[in-house]
Amino acid sequence: MVDLQTQYQKIKSEVDEAIISVIENANFINGPEVNQFKTDLESYLGVKYVIPCANGTDALQIALMALDLKPGDEVITPSFTYIATTEVIALLNLVPVFVDVLPDTYCIDPSKIEEAITSRTKAIVPVHLYGQCADMDAIIDIAKKHNLAVVEDTAQAIGAEYTHKDGSVSKAGTMGDIGCTSFFPSKNLGCYGDGGAMYTNDSHLASNLKKIANHGQVIKYHHEVVGCNSRLDTIQAAILKIKLRDLDNYCAARRKVADFYDNAFASIPQITVPARESKSTHVFHQYTVKLNGIDREALVSYLSEHGIPSMIYYPLPAHKQGMFKSFGKENQDLPVTNLLTTQVLSFPIHTEMEQEQLEYITKHIIHFIQTNA
Ligand SMILES: *Cc1c(COP(=O)(O)O)cnc(C)c1O
C-alpha cells in the first residue's frame, strides 16, 4: 500500500546524518530537534502551539484529558473511523455517542449532530477521514451554540486546507479547540517509528496539554494533575523536521495518483471515486472508492493474486466493536456507516508511485470488473 523505502532513498543522506547527530549527542529525550520541529510545524500550520507527543492515540487521549470532562460525559464522534478515535473516549470513562457520516465524503454528517446532543454532551470529535476535512464551519457553529469543545482527529489529513464561509483558509487540525495528529510511518507525514502531536491556538489549553503529556508537572517533581508520559523521540523529531519540508510535495504526489485513478475509473459505473469537496482540499491519505454490484472479497483476492494490495478501511464500524459492548450500541441505526463498511475499498497510494504501477493496477481492477459485472 505504501513504499517507504524509495521515499527514504531520496532523503537518505540528510536523514542518516540527522539520526547520527542525535546519537552522537546522546540527546535522545527532548533534544533540541524536538523544539525545532515543533516550531517548524507551528509555522507550517499557522497555529500558535504544537505539543509533540508519542503517537496519535495519545494525542487524542491527552486532548480529551485537557478538557476537564467528568466520567459519564458524552463525546460525539463518527463510528466510521479508525478505532483510536473512539477508544480513548471509553478509556477515559466518557461515553462515545456515534453519529452517522456523509455518503460522499465519509466524514461526520453535521445535520445528524444536534439530535445526538444531550445535557451530558461536552465535545465533538470529527475525523478528517482519508485526507479530507469534515465540514468544520457547520460543526463549529453547532459546538458554539451548545458550548461544546471540538477536538479534530487529523491523523489522516495533515496538510489539507479548509476554506471557510468567509473565504479564509485554515489547515486541518487548527480550526477546533485542539487538533490531534499521528506521525505513524505510513501517515502523510510519517516518522520512522511512533510519533504524534496536538495543536491549539489557546494558551490555557496548550499549557494543560503540555502538562498532562509530562506526568502532570510544570515544575519538576511537582505533579499537579494526573497525566501520562508521552514524548516525541528526538530521533523522530529530527526525521520529521526534514520530511516536513517535503510535505506539500508529498501531498501533490498523492493527489496526482488520485487523479490517475479518477480518470481510469471515470467510465466504470461500478466504482464511485472519492468525492472532492469544494470546501476542503484532499491530501489522499487513502484512495478509497465505493463498489456497487461487485463482489468485494473476490476483487481483493483477484488483485492479491496479481501482486496488488488493497485494503478495507474499515470493515467493522466502532459501534459494532466488542470493546463497546457495554454501551449497547451495536444495533444503532447508522445506515450510511453500515453500508460503507460493505462497499469501501482502498487502493495503493503513496508518494513514489510510477505511471507503470498505476497502469498495471487500474488495468487489473477494470479487467476484473468488466469480466465479473
Ligand atoms: C492513525 C490514526 C490514529 C492513531 O494514530 P497512532 O499514531 O497510530 O496512535 C488516530 N486516528 C486516525 C483517524 C488514524 O488514522
Determine which residue's CA is closest to atom 3 belonging to ligand 1. Answer: 56
Instruction: Please tell me the distance between residue 222's alpha carbon and the centre of ligand 1 in angstroms.
Output: 31
| C-alpha span between 120 and 228 (Å, rounded) | 26
pLDDT of residue 373: 72
Same domain, 227 and 261: no
Same domain, 43 and 169: yes
Same domain, 279 and 213: no
Q: Which long-range contacts (CB under 8 A, 24 or more apart) does 112-117 make?
A: 113/76, 113/139, 113/142, 114/142, 114/146, 116/76, 117/76, 117/142, 117/146, 117/148
Confidence of residue 31 (pLDDT cuts 50, 70, 90): very high
Point out the ligand 1 atom lying closest to the alpha carbon of residue 59.
9
Confidence of residue 301 (pLDDT cuts 50, 70, 90): very high
| C-alpha span between 310 and 289 (Å, rounded) | 11
Same domain, 298 and 351: yes
CA 250 vs CA 7, 11, 171, 299, 351: distances in Å: 10, 13, 16, 28, 6
Same domain, 205 and 150: yes
| C-alpha span between 25 and 21 (Å, rounded) | 6
Point out the ligand 1 atom lying closest to the alpha carbon of residue 182.
7
Same domain, 234 and 254: no
Q: What is the pLDDT of residues 70-119, one digit of tens each?
A: 999 999 999 999 999 999 999 999 999 999 999 999 999 999 999 999 99
Instruction: Please tell me the distance between residue 184's alpha carbon and the centre of ligand 1 in angstroms.
Output: 7
Report the candidate in 365, 225, 353, 204 with the shortest Cα–Cα distance to residue 291. 365
Which residue matches cell numbers 503517537? 55
Single residue among 224, 244, 264 that ends a domain in this structure = 244
Confidence of residue 26 (pLDDT cuts 50, 70, 90): very high
Which of 79, 153, 191 to probe ligand 1 with, by most ligand atoms within 8 A of CB? 153
For 341, other C-beta atoms within 10 Å of its C-beta total: 18
Same domain, 351 and 219: no
Single residue among 219, 244, 269 that ends a domain in this structure = 244
| C-alpha span between 54 and 195 (Å, rounded) | 5
Instruction: Please tell me the distance between residue 287's alpha carbon and the centre of ligand 1 in angstroms.
Output: 17
> What residues flank ligand 1, with Cβ below 6 Å?
55-57, 81-82, 84-85, 127, 153, 155-156, 182, 184, 194, 196
Decide: 15 and 4 in contact? Cβ < 8 Å: no
Report the candidate in 242, 241, 255 with the shortest Cα–Cα distance to residue 353. 255
Give the range of the structural domain holding residue 346, as residue numbers without chain letter: 247-372
Confidence of residue 297 (pLDDT cuts 50, 70, 90): very high
Q: What is the DSSP string of 152-176?
A: EE-TT-TT-EEE-TTS-EEETTSSS
The β-bridge relationship of strands 74-78 and 95-99 is parallel
Indicate the pTM of the whole model.
Answer: 0.97
Which residue matches cell numbers 504524534? 196
Instruction: Please tell me the distance between residue 56's alpha carbon and the centre of ligand 1 in angstroms.
Output: 5
pLDDT of residue 42: 98
Task: Look up the CATH number of the domain holding residue 333.
Answer: 3.90.1150.10
Determine which residue's CA is closest to atom 2 belonging to ligand 1. Answer: 155
Report the candidate in 208, 142, 197 with the shortest Cα–Cα distance to residue 172. 197
- Average pLDDT of span 240-260: 98
Same domain, 233 and 260: no
- Average pLDDT of span 33-39: 98
Residues of the chain with pLDDT > 70, as a percent, come to 100
- On average, the pLDDT of the chain sits at 97
Same domain, 210 and 271: no
Same domain, 222 and 134: yes
Single residue among 216, 244, 272 that ends a domain in this structure = 244
Task: Look up the CATH number of the domain holding residue 37.
Answer: 3.40.640.10
| C-alpha span between 243 and 19 (Å, rounded) | 13
Same domain, 278 and 343: yes
pLDDT of residue 89: 98
Same domain, 256 and 360: yes
- Average pLDDT of span 157-185: 98
Provide the number of structural domains found in the chain.
2
Point out the ligand 1 atom lying closest to the alpha carbon of residue 127.
13
Instruction: Please tell me the distance between residue 360's alpha carbon and the centre of ligand 1 in angstroms.
Output: 30
Decide: 275 and 288 in contact? Cβ < 8 Å: no
Q: What is the pLDDT of residues 187-238, one digit of tens each?
A: 999 999 999 999 999 999 999 999 999 999 999 999 999 999 999 999 999 9
